[in-house]
Structure 1
Amino acid sequence: MAERVQKVLAQAGYGSRREIESWIEQGRIEINGQPAKLGDRVEAEDEIRLNGKPVRRTLDLAPRRILLYNKPEGEICSRNDPEGRPTVFDKLPPVKNGRWIVVGRLDINSSGLILFTTDGELANRLMHPSYEIEREYAVRVLGEFSDETRRRLRTGVQLDDGPARFDDIVDGGGQGVNHWYYVLLHEGRNREVRRLFEQVGVTVNRLIRTRFGNLFLPRRVPQGKWQELGEKDLNNVLKLVGMDEALPKPSRPAKKQTRKKTASKKQTRKKTWRRTSQ
């Protein structure tokens, strides 16, 4: 079945569809020796080249993967930096085919949860505004702010790239001149959290992303470390954006025979509860 070339490359982990469409316009992609055009479709037997190198198709790749990364302050979200600063890609495990795609960038002075995936289509859906994926942040500001400021942040303020607002703001307490708030929004524009606070005259001195969609920052993962999602959590993320499960569900193992032929009703209820609650 023929599919658009940008979808094939995205599924193979080369980038998001939007990125790949720009590569097509730049002439970086060839199909059977000819420059690709927007709208071109490819069959399984077609040869695709990116920057002159053959592209490995989805069937040749390892199963799609997602990593949770606890970003420390001081790292940037680019693959390479002319200034030689550390990047979030430096400590990731190697990928045999394809590459890691960052989902949910954070600026150099922010920390917390970032996702990486080998699936470009998944990355595109997680970041696309139409899916309205929630992001949650812990924000430390200088002093408390008034109810009127909270109202403005909830109803919306005008930024240079359009109106923006928080879906929710929860007081997190604090000591001295610093005060914590937990904020929620469902888009990921550049430095949006900081810019929202700056627009109402509030100074942010620390920002940590604690949740992205249905994934939380694991307490057991220290800064600068990563954790790969297992099958269950991976499939939950895929369901969130309407994608098929990554792996087939394992079949249940055969029940072991026991010495007792029957069990009491109380024992049966207890076993059933344990099985369904796991």
Structure 2
Amino acid sequence: MPKKDQPQGERLQKVLANAGFGSRREVERWIEAGEVVVNGEVATLGDRVTPDDRITVRGKKVGSWRLKEQEHRVLIYNKPEGELVTRSDPEGRPTVFRRLPKPKSGRWIAVGRLDINTSGLLLFTTDGELANKLMHPSQRIEREYAVRVLGDVIEEKLKQLVNGVELEDGPARFEDIVESGGEGSNRWFHVVIVEGRNREVRRLWEAVDLKVSRLKRVRFGSVILDSSVAAGKWRDLEKKELEGLLDDAGVPAGKTGRSYASPKSRSKPVPKGKKKRAAKKSVWRR
């Protein structure tokens, strides 16, 4: 391995995560457990490697081609209700990964999750570093949801939700609430959060004694779920969308040090007029 005073290559955990072996946290746990060997020696956190190094992960040899910089892809997927965001399910329930194309290298990494009863926009990428940046709380990337709420939605409760309520894992709030339709006991809203906590949107409404009957994510950062992607379908991000997403992650386009694949010919182009949400009735903000 390279000497400490002459660092070469990339950090081991970053290389293995980008190659699709797992998240960076998973790889770091394997390294700490002594399950990664480089050039015959047990690796430690902070080690740097190049494609010329001999690496074994959990007893399996890593091909040198997997250590070289690959062309990455980023997909948008429209998740239907009833699918799990996991690679396999002991109960045999359908997962989102069964519908995705096989990447040339690495593996698909989901940017965040949606629960089984939530539909809508999911992003997948083969770039582990980009996925980590997009999911990191410090980026405060907006997630927008269309939500149908059952119950008596009075203005006081909406003000509570934008000012903040206490959940079991700490305070939380909506950045924005826009009423977008419905009548009687079922009303539709568009809400925005900047965290990715488990079931956060549902738990926020439950905190003010209201029930979510439908939930769909319609935007992640600058990427909007439009009519070009039907439920259960995917497409590669277009160039402008990818540039916007990289900017969301704090990585200006052209300065990533990595390359991304161009959209496949079978992918549908982004419509000139993106799908607009329902006309605003009332807006609640902090």
TM-score between both structures, scaled by the size of structure 1: 0.83
Q: CA deviation at 1:173?
A: 1.8
Amino acid at match of 1:54: V
Given the superposition, is the C-alpha separation of residues 45 and 119 from structure 1 closer, same or farther in structure 2, using an over 3 Å criterion? same
- TM-score normalized by the length of structure 2: 0.81
2:47 is equivalent to residue 40 of structure 1: yes
Change in Cα spacing, 1:222 to 1:160, as seen in structure 2 (3 Å) is same
- The structure 2 residue matched to 1:226, chosen from 223, 230, 234, is 234
Q: C-alpha displacement at 1:40, in angstroms?
A: 1.7
Indicate conservation of the 8 Å contact 1:71/1:88, yes or no.
Answer: yes
Question: Does the CA contact (< 8 Å) of 1:14 and 1:120 recur in 2?
Answer: no
Take 1:186 and 1:199, find their aligned partners in 2: how far apart are those partners?
18
Q: 1:65–1:234: 8 Å Cα contact kept in structure 2?
A: no
1:133 CA displacement: 0.8
Q: Distance in 1 between matches of 2:125 and 2:16?
A: 14
Instruction: Give the alignment partner of residue 18 of structure 1, picking from 25, 29, 50.
Output: 25
1:188 paired residue among 196, 211, 219: 196
Identify which of 8, 16, 26 aligns with 1:9: 16
**TM-superposition CA deviations, 1:5-35 (whole Å, max 9, x none):** 1111223233332222122223332212322
Letter of the structure 2 residue corresponding to residue 206 of structure 1: R
Matched residues in 2 for 1:224 and 1:156: separation?
34
State how far apart, in whole Å, the 2-side matches of 1:151 and 1:175 are.
20
| Residue number among 110, 118, 136 corresponding to 1:128 in the alignment | 136
1:72 corresponding residue in structure 2: 80
Query: Percent identity between the aligned chains?
Result: 57
TM alignment of 1:97-116, pairs within 5 A: 97-116=105-124
Structure 1 or 2, whichever has the larger Rg, is 1
Does structure 1 residue 27 correspond to structure 2 residue 43?
no
Q: Is the 8 A contact 2:144 2:192 kept in 1?
A: yes
Match of 1:217 in 2: 225
The 3-state SS of whatever aligns with 2:114 is: coil
**How many residues align structurally?**
248
**Compared CA separation, residues 232 and 247, structure 1 to 2 (3 A):** farther
The CA distance in 1 between the partners of 2:118 and 2:33, in whole Å, is: 33
Q: 2:187 aligns with which of 157, 163, 179?
A: 179
* C-alpha RMSD of matched pairs (Å): 1.9
Cα distance in 2 for residues equivalent to 1:168 and 1:198: 17
Whichever residue aligns with residue 234 of structure 1, its letter is L
Does the CA-based 8 Å contact 1:144-1:179 persist in structure 2?
Answer: no
Displacement, 1:144?
Answer: 4.1
Conserved 8 A contact 2:176-2:192: yes
AA of the residue aligned to 1:66: V
Gaps of 5+ in 1: 251-278
In structure 2, distance between residues paired with 1:231 and 1:34 = 42
Aligned residue type for 2:55: I
- Name the SS for the 1:90 alignment partner: helix
What is the aligned counterpart of 2:68 among 43, 46, 59? 59
Distance 1:77 1:28 in 2: 27
State the partner residue of 1:91: 99
For 2:145, the equivalent position in structure 1 comes to 137
Please give the per-residue CA displacement for 1:228-263, whole angstroms capped at 9, x wherever unaligned.
113332232222223325549x9xxxxxxxxxxxxx
SS in 1 for 2:93: coil
Q: Deviations over 1:28-84 (max 9, x none)?
A: 3221232222222223421222231315445353x1111000000000001000000
150-159 vs 44-53, which deviates more? Answer: 44-53
- Secondary structure (helix, strand or coil) at the match of 2:196 reads coil
Amino acid across the alignment from 2:68? L
Q: Deviations over 1:147-172 (max 9, x none)?
A: 21111111111111111111011111
1:206 matched to 2:232? The reply is no
C-alpha offsets along residues 124-148 of structure 1, whole Å, 9 cap, x if unaligned?
Answer: 0000001111100001011341121
Q: Distance in 1 between matches of 2:164 and 2:221?
A: 22
Q: Which runs of 5+ in 2 are unaligned?
A: 1-7, 263-286
Cα 1:247–1:5 change in 2 (3 A) is closer
